[in-house]
Amino acid sequence: MNCARCTLADLGMTVSTGRVVEFRSREYLAHEQSDGAVPMVYPANITRQRVVHPRDSVRKPQWFRATEPVHTKFLVPAGTYVLLKRFSAKEGKRRLVAAVWPEDGRQPAFDNKLKYIHRAGHRRDPEVAIGGAVWLNSNPVDDYYRAFSGHTQANAGDLRQMRFPSLDQLCQLGQGSHIHPENNPCGHLAQRPIR
């Protein structure tokens, strides 16, 4: 944790809550993809440090019909984002569960039970996003967050105060890692020396 000296603001980033409140947006949600539909991402789409969309085991509608200009207020710009589950069970192994939403050209809709880290609403370099997810998913950072926060919820205020490595260091973490389950980057990566 000694190399973590930057806040999100120092890195030119911030954290926001997903814009879609499911019960208020039911008329825009769909179970099937159609013209004008974009991915609707829930915490249940995050599994083993990646975002799986669509995911068969998610019973909720996984598409958001953005057919009118007014619907775009629910979307975030196309880009690469670090997503965090907002809530974790007290008895859960981890308080912080992060994954990367990769750039695919579409503007996604994020459920309000997700936090997303971004650069003032804009895209983030993929390596920096991957490095951020690796950092947040590491055991030392999870332990630090438990001691620092005490909440079972990843709240924006705590994340804004939390310390992160520099952009170059996050990029190094992102380039040296693959967030596929078989490579399980948790734990040791945040402890290794970062130049």
Residue 40 near residue 62, CB atoms below 8 Å? yes
In one-letter notation, the amino acid at residue 170 is L
Q: Choose among 149, 174, 193, 5: nearest CA to 98.
A: 174
Residue 49 CA to residue 3 CA, distance in Å, equals 23
Whole-number pLDDT of residue 189: 42
Tell me what the pLDDT averaged over the chain comes to: 86
Mean pLDDT of 87-99: 78
- The model's confidence at residue 121, banded by pLDDT at 50, 70 and 90, is low
- The model's confidence at residue 155, banded by pLDDT at 50, 70 and 90, is confident
- The model's confidence at residue 123, banded by pLDDT at 50, 70 and 90, is low
DSSP string, 115-181: EEEEBTTB---HHHHHHHHHHHHSHHHHHHHHHHH--SB--HHHHHHS-B--HHHHHHHHHT---SG
Cis peptide before 140 (omega within 30 of 0): no
- The residue ranges of every structural domain in the chain are 14-20+77-190
In one-letter notation, the amino acid at residue 136 is L
Chain-centre distance for alpha carbon 184 = 17
- The model's confidence at residue 90, banded by pLDDT at 50, 70 and 90, is low
